[in-house]
């Protein structure tokens, strides 16, 4: 059965297409002297329909996201539960079909209804590392099988070189000696080891882009850092591009060159990690920054923290800026329409009417 048929036409619901200053959808590729972006996303939108028949509501999971990621760079995508960050990576990996928008990998656009063959080409370039290492490996298959599978399906190495390639990958992710892990089943591995298998599996396809969806949030504190370091080492040695999804600002700034902040399915701020962390401009980024543990700053002083209300209801987003109901600096125009992107420095921009 073709994938187009399998996925049917039920997801055709289009979300509102918002105007973007970042270049119109389908904008021409970058000038020749600039390196080709690994990932370009324009107006990416995803909606889900929930509820039983007659009581259906539309969840606006992601609204018109525009992003460009240069080769060899790490983008930290930060947001709370329900902010759409997982939806973003799953849509880019085409595990979900976008409601609207365009995905370009290495300059090549993915058609709205890709053939199975085109989809395989896409996934050879874009690989995902999942949040939960306890459920993302098939419990019935050995480590060898899980890692060899993408090597075979993407024709990465000739058949006779398969065993050597698997050993290689396991060594690269620190599962040494490989012989000790090849025959193990997921239940025989610790959480950190499983996540390493997940990383090896993603690398096996030799992707240009790695999408890491909160890869450390299920792991114990002592192993988080080693997994993050492993990802950074691999990213560097292979000049991979990576989207690192997290809710942890400190982790994002440790991993990323650029940080993008997401709120209620919208990107609200983007810039170099040091600038976004050092001088957050969007009121939501400031709220996140204020909420994160920061002993240097907060010792002894009792801070006044005000979350100003609850996380947004994605089935009933306000018109205008989604953060307006909680924003301490809200102005009438914020409720009228979504603010445009504004540059607050040569490299930092924010979607807020304050600037």
Partner 1 sequence: MAAAAPATSTGPATASTPLLEIFGLTVGYGWEGRPMSTVVRGVDLSVGAGEVVGIAGESGCGKTTLALAATGLLDPPGQVLSGSVRFCGRDLLALSQRELRTVHLSEISMVFQASMNVLNPVMRIRDQFLDAMKAHGVEDRDGAVARAKEMFDLVKVPRRFFEAFPHQLSGGMRQRTVIALALVLRPQLLVLDEPTTALDVVVQRSILEMLDELRNELGFGVVFITHDLSLLVEIADRITIMYAGLAVEQAPARQLYEGPRHPYSQALMRAFPPLGGERRRLEGIAGQPPDLRQLPPGCSFQPRCPRAIAGTCEVVAPPLVRFEAEHWAVCHLYDRVDDHPNVTDQGLGEDHGEKGATVG
Binding site for partner 1 (CB under 8 A): 67-70, 73, 75, 80-81, 190, 220-226, 228-229, 247-251, 253-254, 257-258, 260, 270-275, 277-278, 287-296, 298-300, 302-303, 305-307, 310-311, 347, 349
Identify the three-state secondary structure at position 258: strand
**What whole-number distance in Å separates Cα of residue 331 and Cα of residue 329?**
6
CB of 129 to partner 1, least distance (A): 18
Task: Find where tokens 């290689």 sit.
Answer: 168
Residue placing its CB nearer to partner 1 in the complex, 15 or 339: 339
In the complex with partner 1, the residue whose CB is nearer, 63 or 348, is 348
Render the burial of 18-29: b for 16+ CB within 10 Å, e for the rest.
bebebeebeeee
Strands 74-78 and 241-246: parallel
Strand-pairing partners, residue 221, are none
Q: Smallest gap, in angstroms, from Cβ of residue 140 to partner 1? A: 26
Half-sphere exposure of 146 (CA within 13 A, CB side): 25
* Smallest distance, partner 1 to C-beta of residue 8, A: 31
Whole-number minimum distance, CB 226 to partner 1, in Å?
Answer: 4
CA distances from 131 to 43, 86, 259, 353 (A): 25, 10, 19, 34
What is the smallest separation between the CB atom of 67 and partner 1, expressed in angstroms? Answer: 7
Residue among 153 and 347 whose Cβ is closer to partner 1: 347
Smallest distance from partner 1 to CB 310, Å: 6
> Smaller CB distance to partner 1: residue 156 or 285?
285
Closest distance to partner 1 from the beta carbon of 164 (Å): 28
CA distances from 8 to 11, 20, 113, 115, 269 (A): 7, 30, 10, 13, 35
Considering beta carbons, is residue 24 or 161 the nearer one to partner 1?
Answer: 24
3-class DSSP assignment, residue 246: strand
Half-sphere exposure in the Cβ direction for 282 (13 Å, CA): 32
Instruction: Compare residues 204 and 227 and give the one whose CB is closer to partner 1.
Output: 227
Helix (H, G, I), strand (E, B) or coil at 18: coil
Identify which of residues 194 and 224 has a Cβ nearer to partner 1 in the complex.
224
């Amino acid at each position: 059965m073709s994938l187009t048929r399998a996925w049917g036409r039920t997801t055709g619901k289009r979300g509102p297409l918002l105007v973007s200053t970042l270049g119109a959808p389908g904008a021409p590729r970058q000038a020749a002297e600039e390196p080709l972006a690994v990932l370009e996303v324009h107006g990416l939108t995803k909606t889900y329909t929930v509820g039983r028949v007659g009581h259906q509501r539309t969840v606006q999971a992601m609204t018109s996201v525009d992003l460009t990621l240069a080769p060899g760079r790490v983008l930290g995508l930060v947001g709370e539960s329900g902010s759409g960050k997982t939806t973003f990576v799953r849509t880019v990996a085409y595990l979900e079909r976008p409601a609207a928008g365009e995905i370009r990998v290495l300059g090549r656009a993915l058609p709205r209804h890709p053939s199975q063959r085109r989809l395989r080409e896409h996934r050879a370039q874009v690989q995902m590392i999942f949040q939960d290492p306890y459920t993302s490996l098939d419990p019935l298959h050995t480590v060898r099988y899980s890692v060899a599978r993408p090597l075979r399906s993407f024709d990465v190495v000739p058949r006779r070189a398969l065993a050597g390639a698997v050993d290689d990958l396991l060594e690269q992710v620190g599962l040494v000696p490989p012989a000790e892990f090849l025959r193990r089943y997921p239940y025989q591995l610790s959480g950190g080891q499983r996540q390493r298998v997940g990383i090896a599996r993603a690398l096996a396809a030799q992707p240009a882009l790695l999408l890491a969806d909160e890869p450390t949030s299920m792991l114990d504190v002592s192993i988080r850092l080693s997994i993050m370091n492993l990802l950074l080492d691999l990213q560097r040695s292979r000049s991979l591009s990576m989207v690192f999804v997290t809710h942890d600002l400190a982790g994002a700034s440790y991993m990323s060159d650029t940080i993008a902040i997401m709120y209620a399915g919208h990107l609200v701020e983007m810039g170099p990690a040091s600038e976004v962390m050092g001088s957050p401009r969007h009121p939501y980024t400031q709220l996140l920054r204020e909420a994160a543990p920061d002993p240097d700053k907060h010792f002894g002083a009792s801070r006044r923290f005000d979350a100003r209300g609850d996380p947004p209801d994605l089935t009933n987003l306000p018109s205008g800026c989604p953060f307006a109901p909680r924003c301490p600096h809200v102005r009438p125009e914020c409720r009228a329409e979504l603010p445009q992107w504004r540059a607050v420095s040569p490299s930092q921009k924010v979607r807020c009417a304050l600037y």
